Amino acid sequence: MKSPGSPEWRASWEYLSHTYQRSWEAYVRTLLANTWRGACDPGEAADIVQSLIAKALEEGLLADLDPAIGTFRGYSATVLWRFTKDYVVALRAKKRPPGRGKLFPLDAAGEEPDLVAPDASAMGAPWVEDLVAAALEKMRTANRRYHTIVVEWIENDGREGPDLAKRLGATAKQMPVLRFRARHMFATLLRREIAATLNNEDDIRAEIDALRPFLGRYLSATSTDAMV
């Protein structure tokens, strides 16, 4: 990582937070819902994530990030778990209404249970949604025709509307080439998004394999499984 406070470091964190904020919030909502049995306000997840982003920008949270600890997705899950646990501790200390019982259920020993951290795979589905959204946004900027084709496939499980060529201003003869190029661009951009927080080809392949259960519907709809 770049040195904390440098323009490059700040830009990289602003990019990461913009790309992954939705998946971070979904993960925190999972933590809160598991702890509170679904009784939390989703807005609280957004507050926790904003606190993480502010801390990262102000204190250089990832400046000494060691690649040996694993993927950025796994690291995000650990950091967000700690932030969420701190939030729960603060609630226990400051916000429990007196005389209204305990906010958390007791375990068999009569103690309030600690917040249990789910595996980073709990972040898998929203993480992939963010990766796909980032790839599609770059695709839309680069070539709207290719973007239109891929969105059509994703929204219709790989099928195309009968008027797609007309909407693209293309002839039937041009469509096979447009389809191939759209697939290639989507696969390339998606792989770049996956690789953005990883260090080498082995890590990229391992992360793709780990995310494959969540990538599946996108790769199937766009026929890009072998390209990513």
Residue-wise DSSP of 47-68: HHHHHHHHHHHHHTTTTT--GG
221: pLDDT strictly greater than 50: yes
Which of 61-65, 119-123, 218-222 is predicted most confidently? 218-222
The mean per-residue pLDDT over the stretch 121-127 comes to 85
What's the pTM value of the predicted model, to 2 decimals?
A: 0.78
Helices (H), the chain: 7-36, 42-59, 72-94, 124-142, 144-155, 164-168, 175-195, 201-222
Q: What angle do CA 84, 24, 14 make, to 5 degrees?
A: 110
Which of 33-47, 81-95, 177-191, 208-222 shows the lowest mean pLDDT across its residues? 33-47
Query: In this structure, are residues 149 and 164 in contact, taking their beta carbons and an 8 Å threshold?
Result: yes
Which of 75-89, 118-132, 159-173 shows the lowest mean pLDDT across its residues? 75-89
Residue 191, token pair as written in the block:
């792989």
Q: 76 vs 128, which has greater pLDDT?
A: 128
Question: What is the Cα–Cα distance from 188 to 137, expressed in whole angstroms?
Answer: 13
Residues in Cβ contact with 53 at an 8 Å cutoff, skipping those fewer than 6 apart: 13, 17, 21
Nearest by Cα to 127 from 225, 8, 213: 213
114: pLDDT strictly greater than 80: no
Nearest by Cα to 71 from 177, 205, 220, 215: 205
Nearest by Cα to 140 from 186, 209, 102: 186
Q: What angle do CA 34, 43, 15 make, to 5 degrees?
A: 100
pLDDT at position 52 is 80
Question: What is the Cα–Cα distance from 83 to 48, expressed in whole angstroms?
Answer: 7
Going by pLDDT thresholds of 50, 70 and 90, the confidence category of residue 93 is low
- Mean of all residue pLDDT scores within the chain: 80
23: pLDDT strictly greater than 60: yes
160: pLDDT strictly greater than 60: yes
